[in-house]
């Protein structure tokens, strides 16, 4: 079997585009994805699943309809399923996402931000 | 709703014992746990699930029956379900684990290393 570690920085160096999650690992039917973000995303929710954000670099604001969660490097947040949220980053921010395989980044909303959900890096 | 970020360092400062995972977050039916390890764990496997290790600090060796995976800070590894493994750390190492709620740290093996699987911190 081919076992090897996955290095976040090494994977992050392989792309530069924003809001385009790349799969780096699978655990059961869940994907671990990395994504670079900057600026404002769109409001959306995931009716079927919670979603985990872990900040690897920078600062992420997760706006909610009744509040906001500020995430710094070394911090994580679980967006509960069905809760509308909008990620915003003033400067480039690197994130690790954990969510079921097949999850769409814009949830039930289709927009120019909607990205492929099956790209491995 | 009470939304807040989870800071790994803040959680890690709340305990010192080794090999005793603490739950810091839940995503669907999965738990995110932090654990401090040092020395050799026991050989075990998890017949029903993959298991994710993310090294937050230090260096972890995941020994497998036919190889070894060395993990540094900022690296992760997915131990496939049913694959026997033994974590080893020469010096104290801090780890983030992701696995289904209820997963036992020693898998099907019961030993003095077997820890509670429901402790939140």
Q: How far apart are CA B32 and CA B48, in angstroms?
A: 17
Enter the tokens of residue B92.
């104290």
pLDDT digits (tens, 9 = 90+) for A43-100: 999 999 999 999 999 999 999 999 999 999 999 999 999 999 999 999 999 999 999 9
Could you give the C-alpha distances from B6 to A2, A19, A89, B60, in angstroms and in order? 33, 23, 18, 23
Q: What is the CATH number of the domain that holds A50?
A: 2.60.120.10
Q: Which DSSP category does A16 fall into? A: -
Q: Is residue B3 part of a domain?
A: no
Q: Is residue A113 part of a domain?
A: no
Interior CA angle at A58 toward A5 and B57, to 5°?
40
Q: Is residue B68 part of a domain?
A: yes
Which of B28, B56, B66 lies closest to A1 in CB terms?
B66
Closest CA in chain A for residue B33: A76
What is the predicted pLDDT for the residue at B1?
59
The answer to whether the CB atoms of B78 and A51 lie below 8 A apart is no
Q: Is residue A79 part of a domain?
A: yes
Which of B27, B75, B81 lies closest to A7 in CB terms?
B75
- Per-residue confidence band for A1, with pLDDT thresholds at 50, 70 and 90: low
**pTM of the full structure:** 0.96
Range of the domain at A77: 23-98
Q: How far apart are CA A54 and CA B21, in angstroms?
A: 19
The answer to whether the CB atoms of B25 and A70 lie below 8 A apart is no
Q: Is residue B6 part of a domain?
A: no
Q: What is the pLDDT along chain B (121 residues), one digit of tens a residue?
A: 568 899 999 999 999 999 999 999 999 999 999 999 999 999 999 999 999 999 999 999 999 999 999 999 999 999 999 999 999 999 999 999 999 999 999 998 899 999 999 999 9
- Chain A interface, best mutation among B78, B83, B87, B102, by max A CB count within 10 A: B78
Cα four-point dihedral sign B80, B81, B86, B92: positive
- How many C-beta atoms surround the C-beta of residue B58 within 10 A? 18
ipTM of the complex in this document: 0.96
Burial class (CB in 10 A: 0-12, 13-18, 19+), B91: exposed
Closest CA in chain A for residue B12: A74
Q: Is residue A84 part of a domain?
A: yes
Q: Which DSSP category does B82 fall into? A: T
Q: Is residue A66 part of a domain?
A: yes
What total number of domains does chain B contain? 1
**Which chain A residues contact residue B32 at CB under 8 A?**
52, 76
Q: Is residue A28 part of a domain?
A: yes
């Amino acid at each position: 079997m081919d076992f090897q570690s996955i290095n976040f920085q090494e994977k992050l160096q392989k792309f530069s585009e924003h809001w385009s999650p790349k799969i780096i690992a699978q655990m059961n039917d869940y994907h671990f994805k990395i994504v670079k973000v900057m600026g404002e995303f769109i409001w959306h929710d995931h009716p079927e699943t919670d979603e985990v954000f872990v900040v690897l670099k920078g600062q992420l604001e997760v706006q909610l309809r009744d509040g906001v969660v500020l995430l710094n490097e070394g911090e994580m947040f679980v967006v509960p399923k069905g809760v509308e949220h909008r990620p915003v980053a003033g400067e480039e921010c690197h994130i690790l996402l954990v969510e079921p395989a097949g999850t769409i980044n814009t949830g039930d909303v289709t927009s120019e931000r909607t990205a492929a959900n099956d790209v491995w890096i």
